[in-house]
Amino acid sequence: SEDPSLHGVGDLLDKAQLTEIVTNGKGGMPAFKDTLSAEEIDTLTTWLAKQKAAQ
């Protein structure tokens, strides 16, 4: 199966929602709370939240 695109993810989800998903997983997305530090999750979700469709 094709991985979902991250294009425009910042239009669909805010940073708090992204943090929840990256930390705890959702659907086919695994949890990364045991893999990434809180700082790494923060850096990643900050970047993801900036991914807008208009870019």
pLDDT in tens, 1-55: 577 788 899 999 999 999 999 999 999 999 999 999 999 999 999 999 999 987 5
| pLDDT of res. 32 | 98
Which tokens hold the place of 19? 């943090």
| pLDDT of res. 18 | 97
| pLDDT of res. 25 | 96
Structural domains of the chain ordered from first start: 9-49 (1.10.760.10)
Q: Which residues pair with 29 in a beta bridge?
A: 26
- In SS3 terms, 1-55 reads as CCCCCCCCHHHHCCHHHHHHHHHHCECCECCCCCCCCHHHHHHHHHHHHCCCCCC
pTM listed for this prediction? 0.87
| pLDDT of res. 16 | 98
